[in-house]
Structure 1
Amino acid sequence: MKTRMIATAFALAGTAASAQDLARSLPGAVDAVAPALAAYSAEDLFASVWNDEALPMRDRALVTFAALVTRHEADALGRHAELALDAGVTPAELSETITHLAFYTGWGNATAAAEAMAPVYESRGVTAEDLPAPDPDLLPLDEEAEAAREDTVQTNFAHVSPGVVETTRELLFNDLWLRPDLAPRDRSMVTVAALIAAGQPEQMTFHLNRAMDNGLTQEEAGAMLSHLAFYAGWPRVFSAMPVARQVFESRAN
């Protein structure tokens, strides 16, 4: 019964995954231990939330992947990586998401994610040629925006930790954020998703504004919050909601 419900739910959502793949997305033990959870998953999360057109399926898969990396949920990464690849996220984009999130969620989380992903890439024949180069040609730097960001950080924190200020400038904003294998909108989107999943809404104002400057719409940002409630929990999303409201209101003025 559970397998049939999940297969129907994802068929409605329009993914390319098979019924067998979808059954694996919810471990069989869930139905045996918490049948109500299995029902909520199939009927509400998979059939409804994942099918909401306010955020494309491909983006939902990428946001979910970012949340799982952030929360160190390596056991679930493989099956969600398969879903993301079937939904149109490329191997290079997933690889670059892991690299990016090392800086925002910690090296251990990213390393565990890479280890969990290795069998997926092997099974799909993904090779080094399909993945981002260590030193690609970088995207152009928005010098005005970077100067404003640098001035704020220098003013507030140069006397606290010059090392953090320097590596933030040189490694993050003059390098990582300019890598071309994850579009600026997507890079911002996974950063915001990681901040929500980590329960760090105080960091969201800058990054949500940056995401919207990079093309994320208010409707998409709101849908991302709704989606992440299932993967990060309602308390963390409600902690992020006031920040999102302030960003939306400030941009409307």
Structure 2
Amino acid sequence: MPLSRSRLISGEDLGAVAPALKRYADDVITHDLWTRPGLSLRDRSIVTVAALIARNQTAEMTQQINAALDNGVEAREVSEIITHLAFYSGWGNAMSAVAVTKDIYAERGIDTAQLAVADRFPLPLDEASEGRRETAVEAGFGAVAPGVVQYTTDVLFRDLWLRWELAPRDRSLVTVSALVASGQVAQIPFHLGRAMDNGLTQEEAGEALTQLAFYAGWPNVFSALPVVREVFELRTD
């Protein structure tokens, strides 16, 4: 079962079990990492929550989702991060996040009226770019798994990615963070390129990796670094 807020791991717990870990948590995580320039507190929260959901790590989720709400991530955006990651990290991971977030929303008095606005039109679709993506995916995989190809077009890129509840730049940041956190480096070039097209800067992308080193582990980040470097080098804009 997910940890309730009353059972969150405290500094006293850390000190009793792993004093050195408490020192790192206090000195490096709290007083250094989260205060670094290059990425806003709001963005650091988005990266961290995405990593926790992608890795299904509920012990930290209550604290970090609350921090995200305190750092300017709106409740509807948290809900949309969970929705988005149901597709990019799996339905089960999203359900774990739903269980944790339900209690947070109840404690904060957040109801469904704050999570959606009726009659809001989807974001515009870049038909040319989407056409190229569809053609490439169909040519490469249409004969292998036509159902995957169909849902990728109809559900992901012509529905999920056009939902207004999360800005395209933030949706891309969530996606890239989840891919790095789960070690899915093959998907990083497309989605990091898309993130930068959506407004994520190279500095912000690099600082997101720094955040992810702590919340997804150094091996996952170092596996991603050569791929990210190549994306940076290939971009001319």
Aligned residues between the structures: 231
2:56 is paired with a residue of what secondary structure?
coil
Q: 1:138 to 1:50 in 2, by over 3 A?
A: same
Q: Which AA in structure 2 matches 1:210?
A: R
The aligned residue for residue 67 of structure 1 is 51
Shift of 1:238: 0.2
Which runs of structure 2 are paired with 1:68-83 in the superposition (5 Å)?
Answer: 68-83=52-67
Return the alpha-carbon distance in structure 1 between the equivalents of residues 192 and 105 of structure 2: 31
- Helix, strand or coil at the partner of 2:125: coil
1:96 maps to amino acid: E
- Out of 133, 144, 150, the position equivalent to 2:134 is 150
Residues 138-217 of structure 1: pairs in structure 2 closer than 5 A: 138-217=122-201
70-79 or 150-159, larger mean C-alpha shift:
70-79
Q: Which of 197, 217, 224 is the matching residue for 1:240?
A: 224
Q: What one-letter code is carried by the residue in structure 2 that aligns with 1:194?
A: A
Task: Kindly indicate whether the alpha-carbon contact (under 8 Å) linking 1:77 and 1:113 is maintained by their aligned counterparts in 2.
Answer: yes
Q: Which residue of 1 aligns with 2:92?
A: 108
Aligned residue for 2:62, secondary structure, equals: helix
Deviation of the 1:56 alpha carbon: 0.4
Q: Which runs of 5+ in 1 are unaligned?
A: 1-20
Are 1:229 and 1:237, in contact at CA under 8 Å, matched by a contact in 2?
yes
Cα separation, partners in 2 of 1:164 and 1:25, compared to 1, 3 Å = same
The SS at the match of 2:60 is helix
TM-score (norm 1): 0.88
The amino acid of 2:178's aligned partner reads: A
User: CA separation in 2, counterparts of 1:204 and 1:48?
Assistant: 27
Does the CA-based 8 Å contact 1:81-1:117 persist in structure 2? yes
d(CA) in 1 for partners of 2:82 and 2:119? 16
Contact 1:25–1:80 at 8 Å: present in 2 too? no
Q: What is the distance in 1 between the residues matched to 2:83 and 2:118? A: 10
Q: Does the Cα contact within 8 Å between 1:188 and 1:211 map onto a contact in 2?
A: yes
Q: Secondary structure at the match of 2:131?
A: helix
Unaligned runs of 5+ in 2: none
Higher relative contact order (CA 8 A, sep 6+): 2
Which SS does the other structure have where 1:54 is aligned?
coil
State the Cα deviation string for residues 157-216 of structure 1 (Å, max 9, x = none): 001011000000000000000000100000000000000010111110000000000000
- Partner residue of 1:223 out of 199, 204, 207: 207
**Is 1:84 matched up with 2:68?**
yes
Name the structure 2 match of 1:50: 34
Q: How many angstroms does 1:53 deviate by?
A: 1.4
Query: Contact 2:11 / 2:22 at 8 angstroms: preserved in 1?
Result: no
Change (3 A) 1:103 1:235: same
Residue 17 of structure 1 is matched in structure 2 by none
Secondary structure of the corresponding residue to residue 155 of structure 1 = helix
